Amino acid sequence: MSLEQELDALLAVERFAPPPEFAARALVSDPAVYDEAARDHEGFWAAQAQTLDWAEPWSTVLDESDPPFYRWFTGGRLNASYNCVDRHVLAGNGERVAFHWCGEQGEQSAVTYADLHRDVQRLANALKDRGVGARATSWGSTSR
């Protein structure tokens, strides 16, 4: 089979199962979660959103009033940096690895949540020193 034929065959496949070793480490392994999400997608995503810390709660999970410009969690406000970094440090997980960095020359580094928090704070302070401030927006209210 030629490479072109192989690629054509792969393009006909709609789904690829993850490798078994990857699937074994998945946080969600019960396939029933897909049925739950399909049965009540707004309820499913509202439950997922409850795991985040919201500065202001949303009023509507999914606003479908202006298709195709759907908006999720309208009225809600959250701080992505806080949810990605700060809350993990506050929960006592500062020494856990947030991500592994690999450079182009083969250098490697394990960056902890505490490291990341320190660097985010340094960047925030540098931006403040240059007059950059917060811009408050509601989730889903971006202009088109």
Which residue has better confidence, 144 or 87?
Answer: 87
Tell me whether residue 140 is in a domain. no
Tell me whether residue 136 is in a domain. no
143: pLDDT strictly greater than 50: no
Which range of residues forms the domain containing residue 10? Answer: 3-129
Tell me whether residue 86 is in a domain. yes
Tell me whether residue 52 is in a domain. yes
Tell me whether residue 58 is in a domain. yes
* Number of domains into which the chain is organized: 1
Rounded to two decimals, what is the model's pTM?
0.67
Tell me whether residue 11 is in a domain. yes
Summarised one tens digit per residue, pLDDT across range 116-127 is 999 999 999 999
**Which pLDDT value is given to residue 138?**
54
Distance CA 64, CA 142 (A): 15
